[in-house]
Amino acid sequence: MKKIYLILLVLVVASCTKNFEDMNTDTKNPTKVPGTALFSNAEKNLADQLASINVNLNVYKIWAQYITETTYTDEANYDVVNRTIPDHAWRIYYRDVLKDFQEATKVINETQYLPTEADKKQNQLAIIEILNVYTWQRMVMMWGDIPYSEALDIDNTTPKYDDAVTIYKDLFKRLDAAIGKLKTSAESFGSADIIYGGDVAKWKTFANSLKVKLAIGVVDYSGLQTEVTGALSSALSDGIFTSNADAAKFQYLGAIPNANPVYEDLVASGRHDFVATNTMLDIMNPYNDPRRPLYYQARDTSTTGTPKLAFLGGIYGANNAYDNYSPPGTALEDPTMPCVLLDFTELQFYLAEFAAKGFTTPKTAEEYYNAGIESSILYWGGSASDVSTYLAEDSVKWATASGSDLQKIARQSWIASFNRGFIGWTTWRRLDYPILNPPPGVNYSNIPVRMIYPINEQTLNGDNYKAASTAIGGDVLTTKLFWDIH
């Protein structure tokens, strides 16, 4: 009898266990997210971080001095600790971008593809790797030494920081390998790819253009000259962007949470936190730059009742009454405005710099300089006539503009990088031009040239943090990174 009871008990327990498992299984949703969905999510997380002007996440449009704050001026005065800005950015890049790309790679590798889809799978993995390189390069340019070889391992909560030069050298290799795996005759992600719609040929052109971006970032560092020369040469021969139609852009939709984060910050928030800077408009106004009404909104300065519009920049880093200065332009209020990862304009100024420094390029520095200005004006909605008029101005024309060749390039590249603060700030860091305005009471030498490490790293990964801080010369905003030798 005891044996019978025992058998019945086992059957009951087994039945209950199966029932509990059934109850805890969501039959409407997959237990494993598809690799394509993880890829899409990583693309969006990356674009959101690049585009945002939320001061908790991204301060580079402020530090590049395209905009300044009205009431709360901590970020324009280089306080990044109060809102733990580096912690937020660090977490997004590692957890929401790189980790999603890693998981997408894992799931795609584990997914059984048809034999006829082998090239499609390979393309998907290569495209993920290209965006990995893009993300890692930005982080190195931001922080210097960072966790790399031991990063993204959830079982290792205290990863070591790798030497930035070693990382950068590896990024050149990874990008070359990824390009070599692309099969332009095959499919990739299709509509799950929000940047290029799965067009592999466009991804190849982007990857070669990214090579140029990697190379210009370390063009003055002697330890990577072999990589720089090789990357430039191979990119030019294999095919880079030929117009802004090739640009890598993440296209937003019209409604939150899929709207451009700038729209959320400027319109949906109902706040008036930003105005134009005197830095930007003191340069643009004398040039009669046709992009002014596209970048900013004019203010009526008339006291007689007859409208008199002017573009007015607030004092960088000071309290600026919103109604007294030009706010960001209405183009930035469009919820569908795309986030640009890399475009023809940016690339032309890089090539102008290479040409000016004596590297072998198909065109002259002046030709690239003119092409960069033209594509910027046209991208923002200016006309061909605007381009001609602007390029004819003595203050803009290559032969008569003030400054050295590199200063001319830096000034126009900086102007063209509006709404892409990190690019403008990095142009200033690399070429030490144009001259920015330090906030009231701040010395010019205290303008940041890197982002500090997250505050949490000091407590959660203390030993490795200390080693990295010592290696780069101190975890402060004014520590120059390895590539910043001027």
Query: pLDDT tens-digit profile of 49-84?
Result: 999 999 999 999 999 999 999 999 999 999 999 999
The reply to whether 164 and 285 lie within a common domain is no
pLDDT band at 23 (very low <50, low <70, confident <90, very high): very low
Per-residue pLDDT for 458 more than 60? Answer: yes
Tell me: do 205 and 324 sit in the same domain: no
Q: With respect to residue 372, please indicate whether it lies within any of the assigned structural domains.
A: no
Q: What is the pLDDT of residue 304?
A: 82
Q: Are residues 233 and 279 in the same domain?
A: no
> How much is the pLDDT for 33?
84
- In the 8-state DSSP scheme, what is residue 268? I
Tens digit of each residue's pLDDT (9 = 90 or more) over 381-428 = 999 999 999 999 999 999 999 999 999 999 999 999 999 999 999 999
Q: What is the pLDDT of residue 18?
A: 41
- 418 part of a folded domain: no
Choose the weakest-confidence range: 21-25, 182-186, 407-411.
21-25
Which of 333, 364, 385 terminates a domain? The answer is 333
Instruction: Please answer whether residues 86 and 455 qualify as being in contact, where contact means their C-beta atoms are separated by less than 8 angstroms.
Output: yes
Please say if the pLDDT value at position 32 is more than 80. Answer: no
CATH number, domain containing residue 184: 1.25.40.390
Task: Evaluate if residue 8 carries a pLDDT over 50.
Answer: no
Q: To the nearest whole percent, how much of the chain has pLDDT over 70?
A: 93
> 402 lies in a domain?
no
Q: 221, 296, 138, 5: which is closest to 146 by C-alpha?
A: 138
- What is the value of pTM for the model shown? 0.93
- Could you tell me the maximum CA-CA distance found in the chain, to the nearest angstrom? 107
pLDDT over threshold 70, residue 90: yes
In a domain? residue 95: yes
Can you give the three-state secondary structure of 206-264, one letter per residue? HHHHHHHHHHHHCCCCHHHHHHHHHHHHHHHHHCCCCCHHHCEEECCCCCCCCCCHHHH
Cα–Cα distance for residue pair 365/360, rounded to 1 Å: 11
pLDDT of 282-314, one tens digit each?
A: 999 999 899 999 999 999 998 887 889 999 999
110 within 8 A of 437, measured Cβ to Cβ: no
Residue 392 placed within a domain? no
Q: What is the pLDDT of residue 6?
A: 34
The two structure tokens encoding residue 237: 């021969």
Range of the domain at 94: 35-251+451-472
Total domains in the chain come to 2
| pLDDT score at 152 | 97
Handedness of CA 472, 477, 479, 483 (dihedral sign): positive
Q: What's the whole-number average pLDDT of the chain?
A: 93
Do 227 and 265 lie in a common domain?
Answer: no
DSSP per residue over 376-418, as a string?
HHHHTT--HHHHHHHHHSTTTSTTTSSS-HHHHHHHHHHHHTT
**What is the pLDDT at residue 31?**
52
Q: Are 465 and 458 in contact (CB under 8 A)?
A: yes
177 and 282 part of one domain? no
Residues 47 and 180 in one domain: yes
Are 107 and 192 within one domain?
yes
**Bridging pattern class, strands 299-300 and 309-310:** antiparallel
Question: Is there a contact between 313 and 280 (Cβ–Cβ < 8 Å)?
Answer: yes
Is residue 27 included in any domain, yes or no? no
Q: Assess if residue 289 is contained within a domain.
A: yes
DSSP secondary structure string for all residues of 113-161: --GGGHHHHHHHHHHHHHHHHHHHHHHHHHHSSEE-TTTT-TT-SSPPE
Do 270 and 220 reside in the same domain of the chain?
no
CB 354 within 8 A of CB 249: no
300 domain residue, yes or no: yes
Q: What is the pLDDT of residues 142-162, one digit of tens each?
A: 999 999 999 999 999 999 999
Closest residue by Cα to residue 146 from 161, 136, 125, 159: 161
Rounded Cα distance between 208 and 235, Å, is: 5
- The answer to whether residue 184 scores a pLDDT higher than 70 is yes
Mark whether 84 and 171 lie in a shared domain.
Answer: yes
CA dist 150 and 403 (Å) reads: 45
Same domain, 179 and 66: yes
Q: Which of residues 333, 359, 383 is at a domain's end?
A: 333
CA atoms of 161 and 158, how far apart (whole Å): 9
Looking at the structure, tell me whether residues 198 and 119 fall in a common domain. yes
Q: How many CB atoms lie within 10 A of CB 298?
A: 16
Residue 486: what pLDDT? Answer: 80
User: Looking at the structure, do residues 90 and 156 belong to the same domain, yes or no?
Assistant: yes
| From 8-17, 30-39, 149-158, 229-238, the region with the lowest mean pLDDT | 8-17
pLDDT of residue 1: 40
Whether 12 has a pLDDT exceeding 90, the answer reads no
CA distances from 198 to 51, 101, 188, 225 (A): 22, 16, 5, 33
Residue at which a domain ends, from 284, 309, 333: 333
Residue 57 is encoded by which pair of tokens? 């996440």
36-45, 169-178, 296-305, 427-436: segment of lowest average pLDDT: 296-305
